[in-house]
Structure 1
Amino acid sequence: MLMPEIAGDTHLQSRVLEDLSDAVNYQRWLADLARPYLGENPIELGSGIGDYAAAWLSTVSRITVTEADQSRLKGLVERFADDSRVDVRTLFLPTEERAEHSAAVALNVLEHVEDDVAGLRSIGGLLRPGGAVVLIVPAFPSAMSRFDRTIGHYRRYTVASLGAALTGAGLRVEQLRYINPVGLLGWYVACRTLGLAPHNGPLVRLYDRTVVPLARRLERHGRAPFGQSVFAVARTPGE
């Protein structure tokens, strides 16, 4: 089978994943959002350098981590070489493969898939009946920046557009909401207006220590009308 070309600058994608290693509170937030839906044997799509999978290991019995980029795949193999609970493998979306995982998690991945409905349909095929599809995607087409395009984003979503894609893929939407409204305002200024790219440094650390805890507290008091990302949980047909 021919492997599709990975969209975007893969070296930039890897650099950004490494550059955001200082954003520990932000990574913990996203990991915690997904954690209640993992079940005992989840699969992560686009695992990057494996930080989220490492955070989930205390929760799951076994986890499969995947990557389409061969350099990042090699890093995952090395990182989890001594942990028998972790399976590491190559996976491209869409895929014709079938499995029976308890959940599939894709954090900032779906926007890299040209045919997102086909991608979601194939993600559903990796799950047992009633399995959870957990997504975080960038929000609002108006926030599309040069950085988005360079890194291989085909689109940014609204709650409505992501809901339509999930429904079109035959999945049942369970949760669908915006998260991190403060982050969206910062994105408009830094990336959309000034043309900057996220990277490690004092600004990222300041944002992580001050803005992220505030955003998490605000989320507990009700749904935000907008946000930097859309968070979604959907289920495959069945149980």
Structure 2
Amino acid sequence: MEVNLNYRLGKLKKMGLLRGVWLDCGCADGGYTEALVAWGAARAIGIDPEQSRIDQANLRKQENEATSGRRPGLTEYHCSTDNFPLSDASVDAALMNEVLEHVSDETATLREIRRVLRPGGHIVVISPNRWFPFEGHGMQFLGRDFGFPVPVLPWLPSAWSSRVMAARNYWPHELREVVAAAGFEIELVDYVLPVFEYYRWLPKSAISAYRRMMPLIEKTPLRKFGVSTLVLARRPLEGADR
């Protein structure tokens, strides 16, 4: 996970976003929440709907503070779905890293994030890209759960594939439209390349060579086939808000 985390947060760092108070929506065990602070955020708030993950995040926080001497209070965690225990306009930025595809109501979740974002604050949504030829969440078919990456599935017609996918998958324009429909102004649509941390069947030498080429691939049309789409948007300023 470290390679992927560094790569993804590196993108946000280059955009100049890692400052102020961040909301990590769908924080799981808090790995990205803590990393947001380590990479420059003043504070980070993690929210996840599963209490067991929040318990893991709090335990992780306690252990890290005990071993590193990091100041307490830089991260905090809450269990919630689409009703965050946060005041209006109380965070500077929000991250949804491979989360939107799992929520029951995309619009409700995005609008709740919009509520807690200050005017002009940014949201970063990273979700599966249908141009990537493997469905990493697997699929459910004929009563069986196929958890491994399923080839070609994202390229099949949505009318069929959506019925067997374990999570939603978006064409880049679809993800952009979902975020915009929740009242955000789109600033950038980018792609996130795979780093192959979980594809153990690939030769290590091939993975190492590929990772060295990633900066070059990022500059070519091949980036379109990245594993995920990244949408950067912001809550409109007062007066432009709707």
TM-score by length of 1: 0.72
Picking from 113, 119, 123, the partner of 2:109 is 119
- Let me know the Cα RMSD of the aligned residues: 3.1
* Structure-2 change in CA distance of 1:61 and 1:210 (3 Å): same
Match of 1:41 in 2: 21
Picking from 163, 171, 177, the partner of 2:184 is 171
Q: Indicate yes or no: 2:135 matched with 1:159.
A: no
Q: Could you report, residue by residue, the CA deviation over 1:41-68 in whole angstroms, capped at 9, with x for unpaired residues?
A: 1110111222222322230211111221
Match of 1:57 in 2: 37
* Structure-2 change in CA distance of 1:200 and 1:226 (3 Å): closer
Structure 2 matches for 1:1-239, cutoff 5 A? 21=1, 24-35=2-13, 36-58=16-38, 59-81=40-62, 82=65, 83-93=72-82, 98-99=87-88, 100-140=90-130, 143-144=134-135, 147=138, 153-180=166-193, 183=194, 199=198, 201=200, 203=202, 209-220=208-219, 224-238=223-237
Displacement of 1:112: 0.3
Higher share in strand: 2
- Identity across the alignment (%): 23
Higher-RCO chain (CA-CA 8 Å, sequence separation at least 6):
1
Higher share in helix: 1
Displacement of 1:74: 0.6
User: Do the aligned partners of 2:78 and 2:85 also contact (CA within 8 Å) in 1?
Assistant: no
* Structure-2 change in CA distance of 1:115 and 1:148 (3 Å): farther
Amino acid in structure 1 at the alignment position of 2:138: F
Question: Structure 2: any 5+ residue segments left out of the alignment?
Answer: 66-71, 148-164
User: Do the aligned partners of 1:26 and 1:208 also contact (CA within 8 Å) in 2?
Assistant: no
Question: Structure 1: any 5+ residue segments left out of the alignment?
Answer: 1-20, 187-197
Q: Could you report, residue by residue, the CA deviation over 1:64-112 in whole angstroms, capped at 9, with x for unpaired residues?
A: 1122112111111111134321111112136585431000101000000
Displacement of 1:144: 4.0
Deviant stretches of 4+, over 6 Å = none
- Equivalent pairs, count: 203
